[in-house]
Amino acid sequence: MKKMLFCNLLFLMMIFLVSCASPAKSESYESVRQNASDAFAKLNGGGTGEESLVSAVLKGTGTGEDEKSAKNDALSQLANSIVADIVAKTVISQEERDGKYTESLKNDILIRSNVFLKGVLFTKPVKKNGVVEITAFMTRDSIVNTITYLLKTMPEDIETLSPEKYDDILTMIYLSYSLLYAVTDRQIPEREKYIAALGTLKAEIEKLSSHGSVYFQTSSDVKGEVEIEGKSYELNKKIFLKPFSYKFSVKLNGYKNVNGSLNIKNGDKKFVEIPLVPELSGNQEIFLKVESPVRMEADIEKALLDFGIVPTQKNELPHYLELIVKTASVQVDSYERIAVSVDIITFKNGEKFKVTHYEHEPFFATAQNRSEKIKEESRKVSISVVKKFLSSIDLKAFFDVPE
């Protein structure tokens, strides 16, 4: 009888301990969320509604056929500047978790910018050369207001959220982080205190994650699908997966299949850009010219070969590709802020077929690592831009390949 009574008491104690322990995670998350929210509320972004572009901390200028499209483009450029700031300061890299965290974040911000970027201000639309131009910008006050809004709108209990909703919460905290890094210590005294509050909240959120996500992006007018472990998914749509190592195959109509592997961890936000490599009949020759402070002809040649294009030095060929790489820098304290720009021009029978200009997000370097950083970034960016460029043009039309 005593043994039975002891067992019953032990069972009741276990139930009590489990019931007490289960909400502890939520309580911890809710506590740090509330602390962060209260701290930012005291900053009082306020704002008079008369903020001007002169006081902008972040900005992006967009163009379009009308005011709406110009605003959307301006938001896109603003998101680019936010992500550039993340790249420069590596505030949420987490070793980039074997994937492109910043590209995924940029994609999330672009898709949900009207929801997340509440403090964005716009200049009056101006018509230039037949198009509407608008600049989207954020001041110190609008940044504080946006972070305060994001913290206040985070749900109290995130353990019951679907992976899609949970992913939104992660994006909100990452965006808050990057916005806070955009302002200076003078604009927000004791800024490190607020960064620490967000860091604690981010850590609590990531403890509760049970999925990661991956986004396979390709041209919207290309038909195809991605197959992961025997299951088919749509392209250009976020896919949520349990932590695991996966193999994938992207099948595209009229283009070469793309195969690869990815490792998903809790809270991952991966982004995979799919190159469109057409099924060209035979190897097509092209005259290649590279102007760059960094020697990279061999790397560019390999990128072309992946597309079934044979680079040569026969300058009498009708097809011509010119790659021009430039670097520009500005001294910031003991660091150098360096930007890499790439111009690609294709000629067909002496006529320009397509021209593109790309400016890479700036990066920081010291006197000790400047040379290596420029080499590394210039080569990496140039190869990426060449592949993206070749994926964007109609290679069959360029080489006159019959259907």
CATH number of the domain enclosing 369: 3.30.160.150
Domain assignment of residue 111, yes or no: yes
* Residue 259: count of CB within 10 angstroms of its CB: 11
Do residues 199 and 216 share a domain? no
Same domain assignment for residues 238 and 351: no
The domain boundary, picked from 188, 207, 226, lies at 207
Residue 262: which domain range?
Answer: 212-273
Per the CB < 8 A criterion, the answer to whether 321 and 344 are in contact is: yes
- Answer yes or no: do 361 and 264 share one domain: no
- Of residues 252, 298, 261, 41, the one with CA closest to residue 145: 41
CATH code for the domain of 142: 3.10.28.20
Whether residue 34 is contained in a domain is answered as yes
Say whether both 32 and 136 belong to one domain. Answer: yes
Tell me, yes or no, whether 13 lies in a domain: no
User: Does residue 5 fall inside a structural domain?
Assistant: no
174 shares its domain with 312: no
What residues pair up with 363 in beta bridges, in sequence order?
338
Decide: 100 and 214 in contact? Cβ < 8 Å.
no
**How deeply is 9 buried, as exposed, middle or buried, from its count of CB atoms within 10 A (0-12, 13-18, 19+)?**
exposed
pLDDT value of position 216:
92
CA dist 231 and 66 (Å) reads: 42
Chain-centroid distance of CA 379 in Å reads 20
**18 in a domain, yes or no?**
no
Total of domains in the chain? 3
**pLDDT score, position 50:** 53
Q: Does 4 map to a domain? A: no
Q: Mark whether 321 and 257 lie in a shared domain.
A: no
Low-confidence residues of the chain: pLDDT under 50: 2-3, 5-6, 9-26, 48-49, 93-97
Average pLDDT, the chain: 82
- Are residues 198 and 257 both part of a single domain? no
Q: Of 247, 273, 299, which residue constitutes the final position of a domain?
A: 273
Let me know whether 198 and 224 are in one domain: no
- Looking at residue 2, its pLDDT comes to 47
Please give the helix or strand (H or E) that residue 312 lies within, else none: strand 309-312
Asked if the structure places residue 6 within a domain, the reply is no
Please tell me the predicted confidence (pLDDT) of residue 12: 43
* 265 and 289, same domain (yes or no): no
The answer to whether residue 22 sits within a structural domain is no
The pLDDT value given to residue 239: 95
